Amino acid sequence: MKDTLDWQRAVFKLSGELLAGEGGPLSERGLLFFAQEIKAAWEAGVELAVVPGGGNLIRGADLPFLPLTAGHAMGMLATLINGVALREALANLEVPTTLMSAVPWPGVAAPVDPWQARTALAARQVVILAGGTGNPFVTTDTAAVIRALAFGAQGVLKGSKVEGVYSADPARDPQAKPIPKLTPNEYLQRGLGVLDQAAVALAGEHGLPIRVFRADRPGALLAALRGELGSLIA
C-alpha cells in the first residue's frame, strides 16, 4: 500500500444509489459508511469536496409524465436531501463540514461560492456541494468536474458500484474487460457510459484527471486517492 496521495485536493462524486440500503433509499448504514470513508480521507490530510448524486431518491428521466425540466429540478432537490443527511453524518463523527448548494436554501445550505469553498477546504473543512449545477440537462458528473476546476482540485473521484471503466457494461456483457487507464478521447470514441460523456470531455479539455472506482468497500476512497484501484481517465 502506498503512503503517498496522488491528489491533496479532490472532488468526490458520490453516486446517490450507494446511499440506499435495506432500510430504504437513504439508509443509516450507507450514510455512516461513507461518512467514515470521507473522515479517513480528511484525517489523511486530503482537502475533499463531495458532490452527492440523487439517484437513490429520484431520477428525472424516470418520470416521463413530467416535463424534463421538472424532473431534473426534482433530481437536484434530491441531491440536497442527500447533502443534508451526509453533513449530519459527518458532524456526528466530528468532521467539520460546510454544505453549499446550487439550489440554495437559507438556513440549510449556502449558495455555492468558489472563493468560500476554496477557503473552507484550505481550513480543513469537508465541503459538500449539492444541487448539481442548478441547471437542467447537466449531470452531477459534470457538476463535479466544474467544481473541481473552480476549486483548483487535482482530480475527480467517481465513486460507483463498478470497479472502474470497462470495455462494455459488465452487467450486460460477461466478456467486458476492465481498462486501467485511458485518455478522454479514447473514452469518448468508444462511447463508454460509466461516466457522463460531457463530464469527460470537459475534464479532458482542461487536463483534469478522473478516477472511476468501486466505492462501497472499506478503505476504497483512500485507496483511490493513492491511485491503488479503479480506472484513470487522463
pLDDT in tens, 9-45: 999 999 999 999 887 899 999 999 999 999 999 999 9
Note the CATH number of domain 9-233: 3.40.1160.10
Give yes or no for residue 1 having a pLDDT over 80: no
Q: Considering only CA atoms, which of 25, 140, 138 is closest in space to residue 128?
A: 140
Range 78-104 average pLDDT:
97
Alpha-carbon Rg for the chain in angstroms: 16
- Mean pLDDT, rounded, of the chain: 95
The per-residue pLDDT for 2 is 64
Range 46-50 average pLDDT:
99
Contact (CB, 8 A) for 215 and 205:
no
Q: Categorize the per-residue pLDDT at 60 as very low, low, confident or very high, splitting at 50, 70 and 90.
A: confident
Give yes or no for residue 85 having a pLDDT over 70: yes
Please give the Cα distance from 63 to 229 (Å, whole number). Answer: 35
Q: Which residues is 160 bridged to in the sheet? A: 214
Range 85-98 average pLDDT:
98
Contact (CB, 8 A) for 28 and 112:
no
| Amino acid identity at 136 | P
Burial of 111 (0-12, 13-18, 19+ CB in 10 A): middle
- 149-194 per-position pLDDT tens digit: 999 999 999 999 999 999 998 888 989 999 999 999 999 999 998 9
**Cα dihedral value 122, 156, 213, 20, nearest 10:** 70
- 100-141 per-position pLDDT tens digit: 999 989 999 999 999 999 999 999 999 999 999 999 999 999
Cβ atoms < 10 Å from Cβ of 9: 18
Burial of 20 (0-12, 13-18, 19+ CB in 10 A): middle
Give yes or no for residue 145 having a pLDDT over 80: yes
Domain residue limits, the chain: 9-233
Which residue bears the cell 490530510? 45
